[in-house]
Amino acid sequence: MAEKEETEAVGGGGGGEETELKKELESFVKTMLEEDDHGWFCNIFFPKETPVKIAEKEEPEAAGGGGGGKETELKKELESLVKTMLEEDDYGIEKTVEAIRILNRLNELKLKKPIGLGLDDSILSEMFKCYLSGEIMGDPVVLASGQTYDRPYIENWLSEGNLTCPRSKQVLSHSILTPNCLVQELISCWCKGSVIAVPESHQDVGGETITKMDRILLNSLLGKMSSSRSDQKEAAKELRRLTKAKPSYRAVFCELPDAISRLLSPLSENRVELVPGLQEDLITTLLNLSIHDNNKKAVAENPVAVRLLIESMKFGTTETRKNAAAALFTLSALDSNKLIIGNSRAPEALLELLRGGHPLEMKDAASAILNLCMNDENKKQFIEIGAVEVILQKIKESILVDELLRILALLSTHVNAVEQLSEVDTVHCLLRIIRDSNSRRTKENCVAVLFAVCWSNKTMLKALWKEEMRKKTLAELADTGTRRARRKADGLIARMCKTFPTVRRTAT
């Protein structure tokens, strides 16, 4: 699941300028698709007032060209990408970066040599320098004026009480700094292409100063959760992006007063499915936050968080349901959270998602169930609500076989699960997987289940014996499996030899 990134500063009003830029982009691409000479593309991506000097072209070699097919393919890809950008308001920063990549490849094909961004190194190095420090930016951020600076230097400027943009002298409407992910990506690509060290990011350097600014931004965005629906949606998208891209935002989030409750307040006040876009952004933000170890306890113990995750697994987009299950998976890494989640209605919701969800949803639901079943009480509960039957059915349908066998092996240590697994078809299914699978861990889990089911059940042991006489599946596993698999296989073979003396330990 790739997150969208945006570069517009929070509270900015760049709609008119964006429309003009889109028109300019449309005209540029149309011309480029019709003409052979497209070496001047970089002017589209940098301010017009910046004196951009295009690298000199080399004469294309007459022989051995062969780039026409690839160039046509790239042009078609660019045309489709730009059409999406023109039609959608929220097209994501990754599409802009991809457009730059395609244009770069087109110029490389045109000039028959790598050219980076097509600019003189001296020009590029100047463009990537912070106006305040005179050095290449390590952590570029956008000020309210739209200008980009290196984070520690603009923060120092603001902390001294300055209320204007250093470069444009414009009075600032706010002091929020928004990461300029596009410029950071361009600097990184340029540094690698020029074989120089990428500047160290200041994101997590300097401690208190950055934490203070992070708090200001997060508080501002959380404040919008009690505002209009449009403000809620805008803030939710930004919180989703920031908590995915920047570890520091995840680290300080739960230190803010009532942060989780404020974040989820739009969903707490309405039926979650009534605002699907907002729901998806907030649930994904919660997932991003739960990745940070220090947040796991605060999120799980919040009075509404787990309940809203459960509701979102029932009502929401595929992405929402998937991310809600993934959030429960990450939260359940903490032992105390396993009990909290297990005592909610989460087991039923996760099992239902596994039973009938989208394949991507099933995978995250299975991961969460596996984590929760590490707790004995949860294991018992999943068995009682029918997890064994659901998991067996999915395995027989060849869905998530490896993942679900791990859960089944865990459940099979409980006597109630053994009773539910005591079907002859189960024995045949597991032996077939041992023969067909290339995964040693999957084979190990299969034989672990067989051991639990057949050891004390003579009927099941006889079914195992009959197939082993024909296929020698366990005999081979006893020679080639993992140490645990060999031990289980040897134990079953010894059991069958004692109970049915005609069994031999030699594989064919």
Helix (H) or strand (E) holding 48: none
Yes or no: say if 302 and 260 are a contact pair by the CB < 8 Å rule: yes
* Of 406, 488, 416, residue with least CA distance to 448: 488
Rounded distance between C-alpha atoms, residue 210 and residue 135, angstroms: 19
SS3 letters across 131-183? CCCCCECCCEEECCCCCEEEHHHHHHHHHCCCCECCCCCCECCCCCCEECHHH
CA neighbours closer than 13 Å in the CB half-sphere of residue 222:
21
Rounded distance between C-alpha atoms, residue 415 and residue 99, angstroms: 58
Rounded distance between C-alpha atoms, residue 329 and residue 319, angstroms: 15
pLDDT at res. 53: 40
pLDDT at res. 500: 85
Rounded distance between C-alpha atoms, residue 391 and residue 404, angstroms: 6
| pLDDT tens sequence for the chain (508 residues) | 444 333 333 334 445 656 666 776 777 677 666 655 444 334 333 343 444 443 333 333 333 444 566 777 777 777 887 777 777 766 655 566 567 667 766 665 654 444 444 455 566 677 888 999 888 888 888 888 889 998 888 888 887 888 889 998 888 887 788 888 778 878 887 777 777 776 765 444 344 344 566 778 889 899 999 999 999 999 999 999 889 877 878 888 998 999 999 999 999 877 766 789 999 999 999 999 999 999 999 999 999 999 999 999 999 899 999 999 999 999 999 999 999 999 999 999 999 999 999 998 999 999 999 999 999 999 999 999 999 999 999 999 999 999 999 999 999 999 999 999 999 999 999 999 999 999 999 999 999 999 999 999 999 999 999 999 999 999 999 999 999 999 999 999 999 999 987 645 444 4
Yes or no: say if 265 and 288 are a contact pair by the CB < 8 Å rule: no
**DSSP character at residue 272:** G
Question: Packing angle between helix 346-356 and helix 305-314, nearest 10 degrees?
Answer: 20
Yes or no: say if 164 and 173 are a contact pair by the CB < 8 Å rule: no
Helix (H, G, I), strand (E, B) or coil at 136: strand
Q: What is the pTM of this model?
A: 0.63
Cα distances (Å, whole numbers) of residue 324 to 52, 245, 306: 47, 19, 9
Q: Give me 82's structure tokens.
A: 């730009």
Rounded distance between C-alpha atoms, residue 167 and residue 148, angstroms: 10
String of DSSP letters for 50-67: S---BPPPPPPPSSS---
Residue found under tokens 């990450």: 330
Q: Give me 29's structure tokens.
A: 């691409």
Angle at 173 between CA 167 and CA 177, to 5 degrees: 70
Helix (H) or strand (E) holding 178: strand 178-179
Radius of gyration of the chain (CA): 29
Yes or no: say if 367 and 329 are a contact pair by the CB < 8 Å rule: yes
Yes or no: say if 161 and 129 are a contact pair by the CB < 8 Å rule: no
pLDDT at res. 411: 97
pLDDT at res. 442: 96
